[in-house]
Amino acid sequence: MIVKNIWEWDKRNFERLKKFQLHHRFKKIGALLFIILLLALIALKFIESEPALLKSIIKNGLLVGLLMISVSKEKIEDERIVHLRQQSYQIAFVLGVVYSIALLPLVNYVVDIILQKEVLDFSTSTWEVLFFMLVMQIYFFRMMLKKCQ
């Protein structure tokens, strides 16, 4: 009895989570947040003592802005839009895995060799992978949406 109630509760919450989307106005708010924080991150590069905490907050804010763009509804949300969104998430996931496993470590390796670092870095930043995946999802969704119109 308790297991059945837990199962039903999980099932309802999963369905709600699966259908979660922000209102289409949040797309503009996310884009504005992203642009402002991107400019702030660029401006931070010109400050001599780059505060690590501020840089981290700005980078996480960039991800929040991209996420807001990514999960916001279109003005007219129909089955075709839902399908295109699903396809763009699949493409972004596959590209994110390829990027984090093959491309990013290779780029880091080449840069380390060019800069002649003694310790070679093969690490992958979680922020870079998430940023890449969100940008790819938004890009492919917009591209597929444009081709279908």
Whole-number percent of the chain with pLDDT over 90: 48
Residue 36 has pLDDT above 70, yes or no: yes
> How much is the pLDDT for 65?
97
pTM for this entry: 0.80
Mean pLDDT, to the nearest integer, of 47-67?
89
> How much is the pLDDT for 109?
78
Distance of CA 57 to the CA centre of its chain: 15
Q: What's the CA angle centered on 131, arms 57 and 88, to 5 degrees?
A: 140
Mean pLDDT, to the nearest integer, of 3-13?
68
Residue 131 has pLDDT above 80, yes or no: yes
Query: pLDDT tens digit string along 68-115?
Result: 999 999 998 889 999 999 999 999 999 999 988 888 878 777 877 787
> How much is the pLDDT for 105?
79
* CB-based contacts of 96-103 (< 8 A; 24+ apart in sequence): 96/129, 96/132, 96/133, 96/136, 99/129, 99/132, 99/133, 100/124, 100/129, 100/132
Helix axes 126-148, 52-71, angle to 10 degrees: 30
- Give the integer Cα–Cα distance in Å for 28 and 91: 24
Across the chain, mean pLDDT equals: 86
